Structure 1
Amino acid sequence: MSVATDRSSARHAREPGTPPRALIVLASGALATVTGAALWLLPTETGEWGRPARAKAVAPLPAARTASGRTDAPAVPSPAAGPSGFVTFVDAVHDPFFHLPRAARQSGGRWFTLGHLTAGQDGCTPRWGGHQDQGVNPVANRLGRLRTAGGDAGLAFGGSAGRELASACPLPDRLAAAYRQVVGVFDVAHIDFEVRDSADHEAVRRRAAAISALQRETAGRGRPLAVSFTLPLTGRGLSPQDQLMLRTTREAGARITAVNLMVPLRPAAPGRNRLRPVAAAVRAAQPQIARALGERSAWRRIALTPVLAGPSDLSPADARKLAGFAARHDLAWISTRGAVPAPEVARLLAAPPL
């Protein structure tokens, strides 16, 4: 018998107990058909917000400070890292009775941002809302008690309550002195700039130079200063002017800890997830921020702040999805603006994901 005949016989031979080849092919086709139908019937609305969050390490709480607000030990293991988890924004101008220590106990959150400091009448003096002296704001004066309880807070410049100092103060030395005074008076390790003047290139350059100088000074004293920018998020990410502002600030030597993306929550069509457009917008902004900051990826430098028209805009289910999204992408922090979220929602946003 030839070798070719032996191979042909071997191909057609089968072991005892093995089903015929035709039957195997038929069964495989049936299995593929059933599997395809099952996948077609699976729900498709889960998407970005439906996946379970991976556990995220919880940063240690800041060390307690004295009643004066000064630290006996570093406030956080790496102060330059800035806030983390859920950050409660407090309008210190229009909500003077806000009690920082009590809010920390009730919500479980430990980080706050107090705003807004804007230019006074002379253009170069920072005041709360542009008119209230720094030292007489009752919310800011509770900072020492918050720190004693293990919390901490940063300060926000700019916003809608007046002009940001860099736009109003044309003198670079006085601008740097104004920022330096605020950081020193309140002993803060984090400041935020809610910028609305990105098209003003002179203001952008003045601010960038002042931040760079201030960060060098604070680092030299062993207390690095974290700096973030709060910017509006659109469906296409950040505006070109905001991207250029971030790059100009970084090229001036300032280190930008985080970019806080502020986005309004809009009503969704029935059966649709209102957070889905938010996820798409953040994904669009991520490479833009990475390029502006000169990094390959910027997920860890992104903070996310939905703007609420009313407390019901963010349900407990939405809060879980939002916290899960932040954990999956390792966002710097999450916050809210506008209406105050319901207490249960605030607790869910402040709790680490399981």
Structure 2
Amino acid sequence: MSVFLAALAVSTGSLVTAAGTAQAATPLPTHVFAPYFEAWTGESPAALAQQSGAKHLTMAFIQAATKGSCTVYWNGDTGMPIANSTFGSDIATIRSRGGDVIPSFGGYTADNTGTEIADSCTSVDSIAAAYESVITTYDVPRLDMDIEDNSLTNSAGIDRRNKAIKKVQDWAAASGRSLQISYTLPTTTRGLADSGLAVLRNAVSNGARVDVVNLMTFDYYDNAAHQMATDTQTAATGLVSQLAALYPGKTQAQLWASVGVTEMIGVDDFGPAETFTTADAATVYNWAVSKGINEISFWALQRDNGSCPGGAAADNCSGIAQDTWFFSHAFEPFTGGTSVPGNDFSVTANPASAALDPGKSATATIGTAVTSGSAQQVALSVTGAPAGVTASVSPGTVTAGGTATLSVSTTTAAVPGVYPLTVTGAATSGSHSTTFTLTVNGTPPAGGVVNGGFESGALSPWSAAGDAIVATPAHSGTKALQVVPTASATGEAAQNVTLAPNHAYTLKAWVQGSYAYVGVRGGASASTWTSSSGWTQLSVPFTTGASGVVTVYVHGWYGQSALYADDFSIS
């Protein structure tokens, strides 16, 4: 039993006693940009916040480990308790840089599996104690409730959640603590559906204050044509009308100041028909400043890169061509709420790829567009051409809104393979780039994972400590690799592989076990993971650097049981 629940057991019902002495958390800015951080990836939120420039993060997600439990963990992972040992130092670092975090309860998985705390736990006091434990452990000024899917129809859970929020708000007020509550809810393009409104109506009936209603302006799944920036504006306008009916004493300015929007940058889960573009970012930013809304967010910080243009929705890339951290940089000035974006532009290639036999050539149109402010001069250049390939852009300078021609030619000595060429536009406001993917037809040079099926019965050339070759379980053949994490360290096996330089590849491997990661580092950096009791194939696209050398690895998260890997390949 936690100290909070233990205190509740002996108190007269006061949650103030349960939580101990409150500290004075610093309130969030009136207007804040706080993208979601995927807390299950093993990455450091402080490091990514610094790299992206996003001072504030929404941390996703907190939930129970099993349905029926009243104890919460990060990601429902019992190895990630609500304690200073989990993200405590990261949050302190973020705060030392002038930022903060917003812990988010729920999320689609929890809402779908009954592990959202108010759905899982039937004790209002225990739910309130869970909220208070997060507040006091990390000294945060806001909690977010991400309520979707089955949680929207669980009337008992909705009522328990709002009753617990009211108890926590009373505790915070008695303790002199600044505390805000936000509800993150799915939306239509015209405002909340009735299921979302029901959550807010219940909050009103329970006296629970909702400071921010954060609309998920994506995943509409209505098979309609979408312009995502326009849909954001119409959804928020509809919400303000709905809030006016719920809170008739508020002015229009106060209603707009309680609105938040969360975009899904790039391609959302529905597919390319719902794509939030780099141009949409400028439109939403300018609109958000003009309306004075409270929050801009997006899903998710780890997706803010263009490593998978043309792809589907993924947790680690946006699916569109973009600069790394483009959306973070576009929205960062919103924090504080007074700045107006200056001149900026975008760069595109049409077509974005070509396949050539050695000795052939191709062209593409490089387009530029004004995304904010006024048109400016943009200097264009292209890099990444391998031996036997030449690439140039003409004219070398255009006014934003103009076009140029990318010319690519190959010689008979060009090495077959896939080569990303980077076209960069530079101006006084900064630089942006786009990728033109050149495929030189033919068979690429040999190279790949050695002993990828472990049928030799030996680890070599894999470097590993404490790992072993086992006969069962094996995905194919008679052998597989067993990777054994410890209580305090990841278990890992790795080998160096030499491939063609500046070439696009895909690493594949079969794994089973908790938090099994497969990836490459060194000359390229990419990874993915799964938690599965059965064999699951992971696929990791990557592009080599100038040397062609990468380190292929598989590892398991510390504190987890052994995992198994088999049948590594690179193609």
TM-score normalized by structure 1? 0.70
SS at match of 1:161: helix
Q: Deviations over 1:325-344 (max 9, x none)?
A: 10111111111115623413
How far has the Cα of 1:75 moved from its partner?
4.8
Match of 1:322 in 2: 284
Q: RCO higher in 1 or 2 (8 Å CA, sep ≥ 6)?
A: 1
Match of 2:340 in 1: 353
How far has the Cα of 1:138 moved from its partner?
4.7
> Structure 1: how far apart are the matches of 2:30 and 2:44?
20
Please, which of 54, 57, 63 is the counterpart of residue 109 of structure 1? 54
1:84/1:111 contact within 8 Å kept: no
Residues 1:86 and 2:40 are matched in the alignment: no
Match of 1:143 in 2: 91
Please, which of 94, 101, 109 is the counterpart of residue 153 of structure 1? 101
Match of 2:303 in 1: 340
Q: Deviations over 1:278-321 (max 9, x none)?
A: 32222222211232344353211110111135499444432211
TM-score normalized by structure 2? 0.45
TM alignment of 1:205-216, pairs within 5 A = 205-216=159-170
> Structure 2: how far apart are the matches of 1:292 and 1:96?
41
Match of 2:385 in 1: none
How far has the Cα of 1:258 moved from its partner?
0.3
Q: Rg larger in 1 or in 2?
A: 1
Q: Which amino acid aligns with 2:238?
A: A
Identity, in percent, stands at: 26
Residues 1:182 and 2:128 are matched in the alignment: no
Match of 1:97 in 2: 43
How far has the Cα of 1:268 moved from its partner?
9.4
Q: Deviations over 1:91-121 (max 9, x none)?
A: 112x221332x44444433211111011223
SS at match of 1:331: coil
1:116/1:157 contact within 8 Å kept: yes
Match of 2:259 in 1: 302
How far has the Cα of 1:229 moved from its partner?
0.3
Match of 1:120 in 2: 65
1:156/1:194 contact within 8 Å kept: yes
TM alignment of 1:217-256, pairs within 5 A = 217-256=171-210
> Structure 2: how far apart are the matches of 1:199 and 1:273?
29
**Structure 2 residue runs without a partner (length 5+):** 1-20, 305-323, 334-338, 342-571
Q: Give the 3 Å change call, closer, same or farther, for CA 187–75 of structure 1 in structure 2.
A: closer
Q: Give the alignment's Cα RMSD to 1 decimal.
A: 2.9
SS at match of 1:264: coil
Q: Which amino acid aligns with 1:181?
A: S
Residues 1:204 and 2:158 are matched in the alignment: yes
Q: Deviations over 1:13-32 (max 9, x none)?
A: xxxxxxxxxxxxxxxxxxxx
SS at match of 1:206: helix
> Structure 2: how far apart are the matches of 1:324 and 1:136?
38
Q: Give the 3 Å change call, closer, same or farther, for CA 143–275 of structure 1 in structure 2.
A: same
Deviates more, 1:159-168 or 1:127-136: 127-136
1:314/1:345 contact within 8 Å kept: no
How far has the Cα of 1:153 moved from its partner?
0.6
> Structure 1: how far apart are the matches of 2:43 and 2:85?
10
- Larger relative strand fraction: 2
Residues 1:172 and 2:124 are matched in the alignment: yes
Match of 1:275 in 2: 229
How far has the Cα of 1:275 moved from its partner?
1.8
